[in-house]
């Protein structure tokens, strides 16, 4: 069993930054990464032999600097592995998916940097084959260097939609339209707000120029109300701010309604000086603020762990300021892309709409459960109705189930996503078979400062 000072879970911007801070202070550090390469979702690397998808100049420069520092550090990467959990004695279990085994490690501290996940709101037909997340389409492009085939519709809300549209256009297949619930162009903040963040403004401008050059329709103040299969593909129904509807026939739909921190099920962090093991979150896993903030937060958490383990007092003022600035930037973006219609899109969904895709549970199923005179808590909804009981364990539906339950039963105590997901290890579901194959230390897939 290997004894380490710090294990960093996730090799994205925050995880690498935290590892660099700790390693630079002389502590032993190891990164646990589920993929073959570091980079995370934001800096996802292409498969061997594929040219990287064009990225804005500022994003390329940030990754080049971060990756160069990582390569020079000699930090060990345990790739193709999934962190399962840590006990009160600092015993860490890691599933080695390359060799089908569970590895035992020992750590004084764990930094969890598992990033963010896309927020997707349910709509009629969102469970159909051919409907995916816009972020999923982006990851596919980054890995393969090719755009998705066919007629693609991007719908939802937020700046990621225009980023994905621009990348699709550069690869030769622009989307048939981008459906945006907000209207950032007409927002009063757009005139002056973004000028305070030149890098953000530069990236946004480059994406919009690419969309404009390819004549991609940007339907602002418009929502996707449903998708159904037809003889020629998928029929997407759109409704504009005036209440008028139209349909578009496409082959695929990419949905995106924002991002949320990927911390479902995580126990509370322990960051007191006398706590052992120390468990802390970094980057978008703690607060979803984008890649710039993720790097700064990784450095902040790395310094905090070093201070706790070594008794040092490294300053945090510079990274705190950088995070605060990006928090203001994200607040501005949230205001710019706020839906034109403030009504919750979950309030008017028909009963047949799938709410929990893993278990096939619908809005109507939840409504029937909520009719009980004594009411149901979120936990009871999970056990009585099988909401959030499937493979994803509520990662994609728990927040939506809780919100719909609160809309249906406003007089009951408010439900929260944690009521359905709980707080426990592991971070993500793992097969019983993997646990039964637990073996002693296995180092055959280690790499230092590479990939």
Q: Which fold has domain 2-117+261-332+439-448?
A: FAD/NAD(P)-binding domain (3.50.50)
User: Which residues of the chain are under the pLDDT cut of 50?
Assistant: 439-444, 451
DSSP collapsed to 3 states, 283-343:
HHHCCCCCHHHHHHHHHHHHHHHHHHHHCCCCCCHHHHHHHHHHHHHHHHHHHHCCECCCC
Write down the CATH number for the domain with range 120-257. 3.50.50.60
pTM of the entire predicted model: 0.89
- Same-fold call for 2-117+261-332+439-448 versus 120-257: yes
Partners of 32 in the β-ladder: 9, 78
> Which residues, including other chains, have CB under 8 Å from residue 210's CB and lie 6 or more apart?
165, 166, 169, 170
For 145-197, write each residue's pLDDT tens digit: 999 999 999 999 999 999 999 999 999 999 999 999 999 888 766 657 777 88
228, two tokens: 């159904």
Residue in 212, 293, 305, 368 with CA at minimum distance from that of residue 5 = 305
d(CA 128, CA 161): 20
CA distances 411 to 17, 350, 407, Å, are 46, 22, 9
Query: What pLDDT, on a 0 to 100 scale, did the predictor assign at position 439?
Result: 46
Instruction: Judge contact between 71 and 44, C-beta under 8 A.
Output: no
**42 phi, psi to nearest 5 deg:** -65, -45
427, two tokens: 């971070």
Residue in 255, 254, 334 with CA at minimum distance from that of residue 287 = 334
Structural domain spans, the chain: 2-117+261-332+439-448, 120-257, 354-415
Please state whether beta strands 223-230 and 233-239 pair in parallel, antiparallel, or not at all (unpaired). antiparallel
Instruction: Judge contact between 168 and 175, C-beta under 8 A.
Output: yes
Q: How far is CA 432 from the centre of its chain?
A: 26
């Amino acid at each position: 069993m290997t004894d380490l000072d710090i294990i960093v879970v996730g090799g994205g911007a925050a995880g690498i930054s935290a590892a660099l801070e700790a390693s630079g202070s002389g502590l032993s550090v190891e990164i646990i990464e589920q993929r073959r390469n570091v980079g995370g979702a934001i800096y996802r690397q292409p498969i061997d032999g594929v040219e990287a998808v064009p990225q804005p100049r500022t994003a390329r420069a940030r990754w080049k600097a971060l990756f160069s520092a990582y390569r020079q550090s000699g930090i060990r990467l345990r790739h193709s592995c999934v962190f399962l959990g840590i006990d009160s004695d600092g015993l860490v279990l890691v599933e080695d998916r390359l060799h089908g085994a569970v590895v035992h490690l020992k750590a004084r501290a764990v930094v969890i940097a598992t990033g963010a996940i896309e927020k997707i709101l349910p709509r009629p037909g969102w469970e159909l084959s051919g409907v995916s997340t816009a972020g999923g389409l982006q990851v596919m492009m980054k890995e393969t260097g090719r755009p998705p085939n066919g007629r693609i519709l991007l719908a939802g809300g937020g700046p990621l939609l225009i980023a994905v549209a621009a990348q699709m256009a550069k690869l030769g297949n622009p989307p048939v339209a981008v459906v945006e619930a907000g209207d950032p162009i007409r927002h009063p903040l757009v005139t002056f707000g973004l000028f305070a963040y030149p890098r953000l403004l530069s990236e946004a401008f480059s994406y919009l120029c690419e969309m404009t050059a390819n004549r991609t329709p940007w339907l602002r103040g418009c929502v996707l109300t449903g998708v159904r299969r037809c003889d020629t593909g998928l029929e997407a129904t759109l409704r504009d701010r005036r209440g008028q509807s139209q349909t578009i026939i496409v082959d695929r739909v990419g949905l995106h309604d924002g991002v949320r921190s990927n911390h479902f099920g995580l126990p509370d962090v322990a960051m007191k000086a006398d706590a052992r093991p120390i468990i802390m979150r970094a980057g978008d896993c703690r607060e979803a603020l984008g890649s710039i903030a993720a790097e700064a937060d990784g450095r902040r958490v790395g310094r905090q762990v070093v201070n706790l383990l070594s008794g040092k007092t490294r300053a945090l003022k510079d990274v705190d300021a950088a995070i605060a600035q990006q928090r203001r930037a994200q607040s501005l973006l949230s205001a710019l892309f706020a839906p034109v219609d403030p009504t919750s899109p979950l309030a008017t969904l028909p009963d047949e709409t799938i709410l929990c895709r893993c278990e096939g549970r619908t809005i109507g199923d939840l409504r029937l459960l909520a009719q009980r005179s004594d009411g149901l808590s979120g936990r009871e909804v999970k056990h009585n109705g099988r909401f959030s009981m499937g493979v994803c364990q509520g990662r994609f539906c728990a927040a939506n189930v809780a919100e719909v339950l609160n809309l249906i039963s406003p007089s009951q105590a408010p439900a929260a996503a944690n009521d359905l997901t709980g707080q426990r290890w592991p971070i993500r579901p793992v097969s019983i078979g993997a646990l039964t194959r637990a073996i002693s230390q296995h180092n055959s897939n280690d790499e230092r400062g590479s990939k």
